[in-house]
């Protein structure tokens, strides 16, 4: 299943739904900072995703799948991935839930980044919930994707202090910065274990 390119770069797809700052960061790490992956396919579940601009800018093949017919869309994606020898999938702000069938096919090679210290605060509104619960720390987690939401094995985590001035917005900004450091590191760690 794992296929490195001649140049030792692992062909990777990134799935997004929104702003795509993690996508941009991963593209730049792969192009300019020697992260040994080649992002060769971008899936967006949202036709207005700002992240699609980075696909254009860096001339990476992208495709919109709205997942209205999940089975059909997933089958098409799987076909594309297979035909193009894409071995790893990075979810980055991807707001759809992949089926078990899809996950099984790429078992052990789908990663996700989540803006909390998992297993705390799976799902949505992580920052608001962490602040309401008066947590002293929050952070972000890169984990393998399994059939349960935000529950796969943790690859790496990074934490940050929550101050009493923090709002969900300020915390989200702080954590996003950490995400941009953590995701490339986690990918490196996973790849070196292949
Ligand atoms: C990130 O906080 C990520 O952890 C979460 O959604 C946000 C996506 O940000 N799942 P971006 O689209 O990468 O800018």
Q: What is the pLDDT along the chain (194 residues), one digit of tens a residue?
A: 566 655 679 999 999 999 999 999 999 999 999 899 999 999 999 999 999 999 999 999 999 999 999 999 999 999 999 999 999 999 999 999 999 999 999 989 999 999 999 999 999 999 999 999 999 999 999 999 999 999 999 999 999 999 999 999 999 999 999 999 999 999 999 998 87
pLDDT given at position 56: 97
Whose tokens are 């001649």? That residue is: 6
Tell how far the Cα of 56 is from the centroid of ligand 1, in angstroms: 19
Predicted local confidence at residue 4, as pLDDT: 65
Nearest to 149 by CA among 128, 122, 131: 122
- Check pocket membership of 139 for ligand 1, CB cut-off 6 A: no
Q: Is 53's C-beta closer than 6 angstroms to any atom of ligand 1?
A: no
Cβ within 8 Å of residue 182, ≥6 positions away: 113, 140, 142, 156, 157, 158
Token pair belonging to 61: 């093949």
Q: Indicate whether residue 25 lines ligand 1 (CB < 6 A).
A: no
Q: State the pLDDT at residue 9.
A: 92
pLDDT of residue 2: 62
Provide the pLDDT for residue 7.
Answer: 63
> What integer pLDDT is reported at residue 12 of this predicted model?
98
Q: Is 180 a catalytic residue?
A: no
> Which domains are delineated in the chain?
10-192 (3.40.50.170)
Predicted local confidence at residue 141, as pLDDT: 98
Whose Cα sits closest to atom 5 in ligand 1?
A: 93
CA distance 106 to 103: 5
Whether the CB of 115 sits within 6 Å of ligand 1: yes
Query: Whole-angstrom Cα distance, residue 185 to residue 64?
Result: 28
- Look at ligand 1, atom 8, and give the residue with the nearest C-alpha: 93
User: Model's pTM, two decimal places?
Assistant: 0.95
Residue in 92, 110, 171 to alter for ligand 1 test, most ligand atoms within 8 A of Cβ: 92
Q: Can you tell me the distance from the alpha carbon of 28 to that of 31, in angstroms, rounded to the nearest whole number?
A: 5
Distance in angstroms (rounded) separating the CA atoms of residues 187 and 167: 30
pLDDT at residue 6, rounded to an integer: 53
Residue with CA nearest ligand 1 atom 1: 93
Q: How far apart are the CA of 1 and the centre of ligand 1, in A?
A: 27
């Amino acid at each position: 299943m794992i296929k490195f390119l001649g140049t030792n770069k692992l062909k990777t797809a990134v799935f997004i739904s929104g702003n795509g700052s993690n996508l941009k960061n991963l593209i730049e790490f792969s192009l300019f900072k020697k992260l040994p992956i080649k992002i060769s396919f971008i899936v967006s579940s949202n036709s207005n995703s700002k992240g699609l601009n980075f696909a254009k800018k860096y001339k990476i093949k992208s495709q919109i799948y709205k997942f209205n017919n999940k089975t059909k869309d997933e089958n098409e994606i799987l076909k594309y991935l297979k035909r193009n020898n894409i071995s790893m999938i990075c979810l980055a702000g991807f707001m759809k839930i992949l089926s078990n069938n899809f996950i099984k096919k790429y078992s052990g090679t789908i990663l996700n980044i989540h803006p909390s210290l998992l297993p705390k605060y799976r799902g949505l509104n992580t920052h608001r919930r962490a602040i309401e619960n008066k947590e002293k720390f929050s952070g972000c987690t890169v984990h393998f994707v399994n059939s349960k939401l935000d529950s796969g094995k943790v690859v790496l985590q990074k934490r940050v202090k929550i101050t009493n001035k923090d709002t969900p917005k300020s915390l989200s900004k702080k954590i996003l910065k950490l995400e941009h450091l953590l995701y490339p590191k986690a990918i490196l760690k996973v790849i070196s274990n292949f």
